[in-house]
Chain A
Amino acid sequence: MNDQPRDTDDPIEPTEQQRVGGSPDAGQQPAVVHAPETTEVAAPATTVATDDRTVEQEDPWGSAFRRIMGGNLVMAVLAILTSLVVGGILIAATDERVQATSGYFFARPSDMLSAAWEAVAGAYSALFQGSILNLARADAGFAQLIKPLTDTLNFATPLIAAGLGVAIAFRVGLFNIGGRGQMLWAAAAAGWVGFSFQLPPVLHVLVAIAVGIVAGAIWGGIAGLLKAYTGAHEVIVTIMLNFVALWFITWMLRTPGLLQNPGSNNPISPAMVETAVLPPIFGPPFSLHWGFVLSVAAVAFCSWLINRSSLGFQFRAVGYNPSAALNAGMDVKRITMLAMVFAGGFMGLAGAQQVTGTVTTGFTSGIDAGIGFDAITVALLGGSTPWGTFFAGLLFGAFKAGGFRMQAAEGVPIDIILVVQSFIVLFIAAPPLVRAMFGLPQPGTKSRRRRRDEAALRAMTKGEQA
């Protein structure tokens, strides 16, 4: 009931209480010595609460942005379901048997329908078995049964960290498309620490990751700095910095003595030293490594940062309304820069996880694996909240883990999985579309107005009786 906007048409809400005397509540006595004389202030006998005109005149981009951000759980679930349906149709349509049987659909429709059913059911069952529980190998022991689940967590690890890097920037009103560059720098820095130093086991990997985070934070901070102090748009800056990072690191990987593996002509780095590799949590057959725990910790930290910390309070205030933040004494420029530093830091964690966990045998300039862009989707699906991003990251990890099995077992093109993912984004980004498809009420239309009006009427009649 709290979020019902008042309209100009609403009648006045009647009085519920009387208020006498209006001395400003100055908390403590101000720096004033003079005792004020007892002054009678015209006391409003019965103040009538009123509605002023609250016609919003906000810029359309801002409101679209907020709409995208404001997606709730129901919408996310519906978007996922809808895209799975669309994906199913595509799987059926691209299946060879379905295509063959459709030739004589009108003679024997059951052939095509059963083919379609088998294709879709097989594909989604492969997706499930590849990402959550491998029922086919349930008799081979519990470990084999749940191995896909740990694969999912493994794939989700960098997606979650990178998703946070987009989400936190979103909350400050910034669009961080620079995940690729931030991850690349982080990977290069963490990788360099990983292959060129000899340090004690646990310390080595932690130092490598910390250096990676710092590198990502610096690269993000550069974009933030340019945005805050020159006004250059962060979307442009981060995209272009991606290329700078990509080609700079490609050059370093090609140059002997920098990042290139000695004795190799390929643009690839040496392998990590044993001590700089994130150890597995459970050991074989599971590949899940401690990077996942770091991602969970990052989510918890991000959640505290955004929702509970003083800095997060400023972050969100600047994101919602920079003018009000400025008037409240916040240093909007500094906050903008800091937001990108943190965003780059989370991206840096993802980049460091890639070199210390996923690809430990030497990295190329493709080490980011497109995660910097997938992260945008993850953050959108997660509504830019830390825990939302966490679950969205798990879902996309599941898609990745299951996608391979779908391709291998059922011959479904991996691209179809990507299509499903893309549809999820489409539906998430356009809530009115999903609402229209499921016949849900659009916000701001009748049902909400009715609820509000009824509430107002109740208040009104109560007041008249009083």
Chain B
Amino acid sequence: MTLELQGITKRFGALTANDHIDLEVRAGEIHCLLGENGAGKSTLMNVLYGLYQADEGQILLDGEVQRFAGPGDAMRAGIGMVHQHFMLIPVFTVAENVLLGHERALGGLAGAKQKVREISDRFGFHIDPDARIEDLPVGVQQRVEIIKALSQDAKVLVFDEPTAVLTPQETDELMAIMQQLRDEGTAIVFITHKLREVRAIADRITVIRLGKVVGEASPDSSTTELASMMVGRPVELTVQKQPPVLTDNQLEVSGLTVLDAIGQKVVNDVSFSVRGGEVLCIAGVQGNGQTELTEAILGLQPKATGSIRLNGRELLGKSVRDVLDAGVGFVPEDRKVDGLVGEYSIAENLMLDRYRGAPFVSAGTVDRGARDEFAAEKLGAFDIRAQDIHTRVGTLSGGNQQKVVLARELGRPLALFVASQPTRGLDVGSIEFVHSQIIATRDAGIPVIVVSTELDEVVGLADRIAVMYRGGIVGIVPAATSRDSLGLMMAGERPAAAEGAAA
């Protein structure tokens, strides 16, 4: 089936989110829709899926003009969508979720189970139709979404930022599935802003910027070319940095073991050290103990044993307050949950961890003058795009939210800086900025730990790389280590020439 979008225009009031967009997707090809967050990709796909009505232009399937009043029409016409945020009911089983909305068509629960098994076998998914969604890992949940779309005989499948929530391995597996689907003749629209994925899988690439098609790119284009097209200006993708100048500051972690709530070792006898002036990147697939490791440093893990010494002072067993007061700056993995109070203004968030004593509090009262002055300064210095310092942080974009977190954490005297997934969910422009801030912190002689699941980021930032696997450190290797051997280490294989876990 060939899908054609002709001159699609969608306006919201005076704003044109999509401006005469033409797009053609043929059966058996993967068509990438590349663009920054907010470029209008999602609007376009919502028009296609019948969630929005286009103001101008038309949708054609095999040359026939279609009118979609809602997603139901789109589904019946053979368009399926795998949403970024899954549209699944967590307490339902796989089969029940697939059945939902198509009770008759699938022939009841038995039919749905049959269908799940059938599709599951076809793609080698190994999904139990009776498993509850909430018990499944994210990657598997996504497969359920795919099964749900395929169970409606979708001929055109739209993947909306499907890799945003996946680990590198799950991403690779998803790509294999997409290729298999393509080979079976499905037309695939792949929406993303990740350049590596685009180059790996796309047959054709359409770049969208500010609601308009900027052009088509060939899959052979370099990432720099693609990024420049996407952002509309030359982009520096590699992190510029000088060789590290080590200082005497030092974080030393030895024999750190963290138990989770049920007594299992989530961090297992981890030892490493970071000197001032260098960046130690902790790589690894999500869920191999990185989160718990950083939380243990911050004092959030009650069941941690071993030793964490910062400039000779023991941090383990101290409260979060004491750890922060010892000069630890921390960028949490999930900024919305752990980093910011969405209802607070930018100014309030910038003093979130300095609610006692100078400079913001005197005699138990918040000094609004000092707070606002600090906030105004940071707003400029960190280029936080907002109306003013009293804007609620929850209304900011992810990039600006992360800048608020960075401005706060780097805004006080530091002895150690720990950043967990610092660029997750950010666009190219913000990533550049965050990376430059991390490197500048390192160059100020502060020990820096960056936890990331993005191999590009790890390789770009690190002076040394520690790879974690199942709670332990597989090895600590120089930044120049090849991606292949890093990949093997992430799967638990010990490198031959590594420094060893105790390095």
Contacts of B145 in A (CB 8 A): none
- CB pair A43 B17 closer than 8 Å: no
- CB pair B410 A11 closer than 8 Å: no
Counting contact residues on chain A (CB < 8 A from B), the size range is 35 or more
**Given A320-B341, A327-B320, CB of A41 within 8 Å of CB of B440:** yes
Q: Name the residue of chain B whose CB is nearest to the CB of A53.
A: B37
Asked if A145 is at the interface (CB within 8 A of a chain B CB), the reply is no
**Given A30-B414, A42-B239, CB of A50 within 8 Å of CB of B38:** yes
- CB pair A453 B38 closer than 8 Å: no
- CB pair B12 A52 closer than 8 Å: no
Asked if B210 is at the interface (CB within 8 A of a chain A CB), the reply is yes
- CB pair A26 B38 closer than 8 Å: no
Contacts of B233 in A (CB 8 A): 45-46, 48
- CB pair A329 B320 closer than 8 Å: yes
Contacts of B377 in A (CB 8 A): 25
B-contacting 9-mer, from A87-95, A305-313, A389-397:
A305-313
Asked if B123 is at the interface (CB within 8 A of a chain A CB), the reply is no
Q: A24–B410 Cα gap in the complex (Å)?
A: 6
- CB pair A49 B399 closer than 8 Å: yes
CB < 8 Å: which of A36, A45, A50 contacts B430? A50
Q: A449–B382 Cα gap in the complex (Å)?
A: 28
Contacts of A44 in B (CB 8 A): 236, 429, 432-433, 436
**Given A41-B436, A41-B439, A55-B85, CB of A25 within 8 Å of CB of B407:** yes
**Given A47-B429, A48-B231, CB of A27 within 8 Å of CB of B413:** yes
Q: A321–B344 Cα gap in the complex (Å)?
A: 10
CB < 8 Å: which of B40, B234, B397 contacts A52? B397
Chain B residues touching A, majority SS: loop
As a 0/1 sequence over residues 65 to 92 of chain B, the CB contacts with chain A under 8 angstroms (1 = contact) are: 0000000000000000000110000000
- CB pair A36 B444 closer than 8 Å: yes
Minimum distance in angstroms from A67 CB to a CB of chain B? 12
- CB pair B410 A5 closer than 8 Å: no
Minimum distance in angstroms from A43 CB to a CB of chain B? 7
A1-49 residues at the B interface, CB under 8 angstroms: 1-6, 8-13, 17, 19, 22-37, 39-49
Contacts of A23 in B (CB 8 A): 440, 444
**Given A24-B441, A41-B240, CB of A12 within 8 Å of CB of B324:** no
A309-348 residues at the B interface, CB under 8 angstroms: 309-311, 313-314, 316-317, 320-321, 323-331
Minimum distance in angstroms from B300 CB to a CB of chain A? 7
A-contacting 9-mer, from B112-120, B199-207, B215-223, B243-251:
B243-251
A-contacting 9-mer, from B94-102, B385-393, B491-499:
B385-393
**Given A12-B36, A32-B446, A47-B433, CB of A6 within 8 Å of CB of B440:** no
Contacts of A451 in B (CB 8 A): 13
- CB pair A42 B432 closer than 8 Å: yes
Contacts of B411 in A (CB 8 A): 25-27
Q: Name the residue of chain A whose CB is nearest to the CB of B322.
A: A329
Asked if A54 is at the interface (CB within 8 A of a chain B CB), the reply is yes
Q: A450–B11 Cα gap in the complex (Å)?
A: 10
Asked if A229 is at the interface (CB within 8 A of a chain B CB), the reply is no
- CB pair B249 A324 closer than 8 Å: no
Q: Name the residue of chain B whose CB is nearest to the CB of A31.
A: B415
- CB pair B410 A26 closer than 8 Å: yes
- CB pair A328 B352 closer than 8 Å: yes
As a 0/1 sequence over residues 223 to 244 of chain B, the CB contacts with chain A under 8 angstroms (1 = contact) are: 0000000011110100111100
CB < 8 Å: which of B338, B395, B444 contacts A324? B338
CB < 8 Å: which of B356, B383, B444 contacts A24? B444
Asked if A96 is at the interface (CB within 8 A of a chain B CB), the reply is no
Asked if B365 is at the interface (CB within 8 A of a chain A CB), the reply is yes
Contacts of B344 in A (CB 8 A): 316-317, 320
- CB pair A329 B242 closer than 8 Å: no
- CB pair A22 B353 closer than 8 Å: no
- CB pair A26 B387 closer than 8 Å: no
Minimum distance in angstroms from B375 CB to a CB of chain A? 12
B-contacting 9-mer, from A178-186, A291-299, A454-462:
A454-462
Q: A321–B390 Cα gap in the complex (Å)?
A: 18
Contacts of A4 in B (CB 8 A): 395
- CB pair A50 B427 closer than 8 Å: yes
- CB pair B298 A22 closer than 8 Å: no
Query: A49, A57, A316, A330: which has the most chain B beta carbons within 10 Å?
Result: A49
Q: A285–B151 Cα gap in the complex (Å)?
A: 81
Q: A54–B401 Cα gap in the complex (Å)?
A: 10
- CB pair A34 B366 closer than 8 Å: no
- CB pair B385 A13 closer than 8 Å: yes
- CB pair B413 A30 closer than 8 Å: yes
As a 0/1 sequence over residues 358 to 380 of chain B, the CB contacts with chain A under 8 angstroms (1 = contact) are: 00010011101000000001100
- CB pair A51 B440 closer than 8 Å: no
**Given A324-B352, A329-B353, A331-B321, CB of A26 within 8 Å of CB of B413:** yes
**Given A320-B344, A327-B338, CB of A12 within 8 Å of CB of B210:** yes
Q: A36–B413 Cα gap in the complex (Å)?
A: 15
Asked if B111 is at the interface (CB within 8 A of a chain A CB), the reply is no
Asked if A304 is at the interface (CB within 8 A of a chain B CB), the reply is yes
- CB pair B397 A51 closer than 8 Å: yes
CB < 8 Å: which of A27, A49, A326, A450 contacts B397? A49
Contacts of A328 in B (CB 8 A): 320, 324, 352-353, 355
**Given A17-B383, A47-B383, A326-B320, CB of A6 within 8 Å of CB of B396:** yes
Contacts of A57 in B (CB 8 A): 85
Top 6 nearest A-B pairs (CB, nearest first) are A52-B398, A453-B15, A450-B13, A51-B38, A34-B247, A32-B445
A-B contact pairs, 28 of them (CB 8 A): A2-B387, A6-B38, A10-B15, A12-B38, A25-B411, A31-B249, A31-B311, A32-B247, A32-B445, A33-B247, A34-B277, A36-B245, A39-B439, A40-B240, A41-B439, A44-B432, A45-B234, A49-B400, A50-B430, A51-B37, A51-B38, A51-B397, A53-B161, A304-B365, A310-B361, A327-B298, A329-B320, A329-B353
List A residues at the B interface (Cβ < 8 Å). Answer: 1-6, 8-13, 17, 19, 22-37, 39-55, 57, 66, 304, 308-311, 313-314, 316-317, 320-321, 323-331, 449-451, 453-454, 456-457, 460
Identify 7 new A-B residue pairs, CB closer than 8 A, beyond the known A50-B36, A53-B37: A6-B397, A24-B406, A26-B413, A27-B413, A48-B427, A323-B337, A327-B330
